[in-house]
Chains A and B, each alone.
Chain A
Amino acid sequence: MHDKTISELSRSLRSGDFSSVELTTHLLDRVESLGPHLNAFVTVTGELALEQARKADQTRAAGDSGPLNGIPIAHKDLFCTDGVLTTCGSRILDNFISPYDATVVGKLKKAGAVMLAKTNMDEFAMGSSNENSCFGPVKNPWDETRVPGGSSGGSAAAVAARLLPGATGTDTGGSIRQPAALTGITGLKPTYGRVSRYGMVAFASSLDQAGTLTRSAEDAAIMLGTMAGFDPRDSTSAEKDVPDYRATLEDNLDGLRIGVPTEFFDDGLMPANKTAVEEAIRELEKLGAKISEIHLPNLGLSVPTYYVVAPAECSSNLSRFDGVRFGHRAQEYDDLTDMYKKTRGQGFGAEVKRRIMTGTYVLSAGYYDAYYLKAQKVRQLIAADYAEAFKSVDLIAGPTTPTPAFELGAKTHDPITMYLNDIYTIGANLAGLPGMSVPCGFVDGLPVGLQIVGPHFCEARLLNVAHRYQQVTDWHTRAPEMTVGGTPTA
């Protein structure tokens, strides 16, 4: 049961092969026995899940044939879930029971999806390895001495380990695509504004986007179809119709123009990763795509631009965590200012503090023009590079990450070393473009991801390309061999 995709499970549920309660019970069992081992979950909502599964079985019997009806999923702990702990991987919210559902959570619930758990993540979505959580690091199911990537590490590890067929994630600088690449699954970051951010705790408001982690492009299409759409509660939500993403999955790729940026194939890219990605691009060519070389001349400035813009926005967004209305409050303090300082000093981890302070610095009097304003201008240049490229190609393809999963603790000594993991993913966030990572091979037993990026609102085309690729390859069907205490778990 746990090897099936969302679309296979949906067919089985509708044929009556098993019920949602049976499926949920089976996966709950795996979640409870393997979850702690990977440290993928913050909260397991077993009873709630079974209740939702019972309800789904009823509505299905009454005629609901939606593809997510009765399907167990998990939500990244960045999404507010009514009546359920929502921590964002942080001490400062370790007691916060959300009084409402995020729009994304509500939509999936309405479609009949069953929420099994809230997944572990880098604190406030700041990280590329899931080592910044106050609940400890998540482990990569392919090699437990290695990171699963971040910040949606818990969601990625859970889906890769076949604990769940799908999970939500968020991507601000690569936090869906990078962990998808490192754990061998399919990750989708939609266009900025495609999916509502209401109830999704804000990190960097002009970059954040909710997306999916699944084992196939078809499953991503199913989830996105439900998650996407205009939301009046999100002031940056796009007023654009949601196409039927599944309807165009099988489209022909003949004549599709794919651009491969030379800047993506620099010295930082590990040779074995390069080989796997080049092979994947050749497969796309065999499927009918026309491959050409393109340039993104300002790509080298994308990481520094991001590390001015994102911290600036986060310093503003995280100022709401002050111990007054919700979350942790320090027990002892001298006055209001001291209360704020102690509450935040105790509640936030080191990386979050670094980013808040970087943001405070670049926005402060005397530095604003040199850093923040400058970064916003360079952001314009980077976005213009992509727009220019899309005049001659339909999609851009390349590696998702420079290396496969690295060891726990390998990059925590220097923030910059960690930041450079996002070199290929960040540009899409700066330009608001949709992007996906699909598994395309292995390096020493560790997964490698192929990244495809397209113009605004071309998710249907990305899903189509990913699906066609998955029809002629089987990288996405490979599962890690997990053992608990020496016993294989498959």
Chain B
Amino acid sequence: MSLSRNEMQNIAHLARLEIAEEEVTAFADDLSRIIDFVEQLSQASTDDVLPMAHPLDMAQRLRADEVTETDQHQKYQQNASSVEEDLYLVPKVLE
């Protein structure tokens, strides 16, 4: 199968990745090859097979709803590019 430039750009948009114009075709080719490669899976007979989300038979562990962590936001916010009054700053979300 062959991913069109349009489909490629749509995937990039969904993934929030900017791909340079001159690279779109190369990425589309690579992705097409990968998708062709994984197409082999359709050959496997999987009627009545349960999907495996997890390699071990485990259920999600629960714990008591108690506070166990301390507020260290100042330490963690040191890694942010833009912080003001303890808030992470981003470009305006709402018009």
Contact = CB atoms under 8 A, between A and B. Distances in A.
Given A325-B80, A381-B46, A357 B17 contact: yes
Given A344-B17, A358-B31, A206 B42 contact: no
B53 A326 contact: no
A283 B34 CA distance: 40
Interface string B1-29: 00000001001111111111000000100
B70 interface: no
A325 B56 contact: no
Nearest to B14: A360
Contact of A99 (B20, B40, B52, B75): B75
B15 A360 contact: yes
A206 B38 contact: no
A376 B54 CA distance: 9
A319 B17 CA distance: 10
A60 to B, nearest CB: 32
A14 interface: no
A336 B91 contact: yes
A308 B40 CA distance: 11
A300 B90 CA distance: 47
A322 B81 CA distance: 11
Contact of B79 (A325, A338, A353): A325
* Most chain A CB atoms below 10 A, which of B8, B90, B93: B90
Nearest to A376: B51
B38 A383 contact: no
A interface residue count range (under 10 / 10 to 19 / 20 to 34 / 35 or more): 35 or more
B36 to A, nearest CB: 9
B73 to A, nearest CB: 10
Given A99-B76, A307-B34, A371-B38, A430 B44 contact: no
Given A304-B40, A344-B16, A374-B46, A416 B55 contact: no
B40 A301 contact: yes
A374 B35 contact: no
A379 B42 contact: no
A415 interface: yes
B17 to A, nearest CB: 5
Contact of A378 (B41, B75, B81): B41
Nearest to A307: B38
B58 interface: yes
Interface string A206-241: 110000000000000000000000001001101000
Interface string A338-352: 111110111010000
B67 interface: no
A232 B63 contact: yes
A381 B53 contact: no
Contact of A380 (B12, B52, B61): B52
B55 A192 contact: yes
A354 B34 contact: yes
Contact of B54 (A206, A305, A374): A206
B38 A341 contact: no
A193 B54 CA distance: 10
B14 A383 contact: no
Given A336-B93, A379-B52, A345 B18 contact: yes
Interface of A: 95-97, 99, 191-193, 206-207, 232, 235-236, 238, 298, 300-301, 303-305, 307-308, 315, 319, 322-327, 329, 333-342, 344-346, 348, 353-354, 356-358, 360-362, 364, 370-371, 373-381, 383, 414-416, 419, 430-433, 456
Interface of B: 8, 11-20, 27, 30-31, 33-35, 37-44, 46, 49-56, 58, 60-61, 63, 72, 75-82, 88, 90-93
Given A307-B38, A336-B93, A374-B46, 17 more contacts: A235-B60, A300-B40, A304-B39, A305-B41, A325-B88, A327-B79, A337-B16, A341-B12, A345-B17, A357-B17, A371-B38, A376-B53, A377-B44, A381-B49, A383-B55, A414-B33, A431-B55
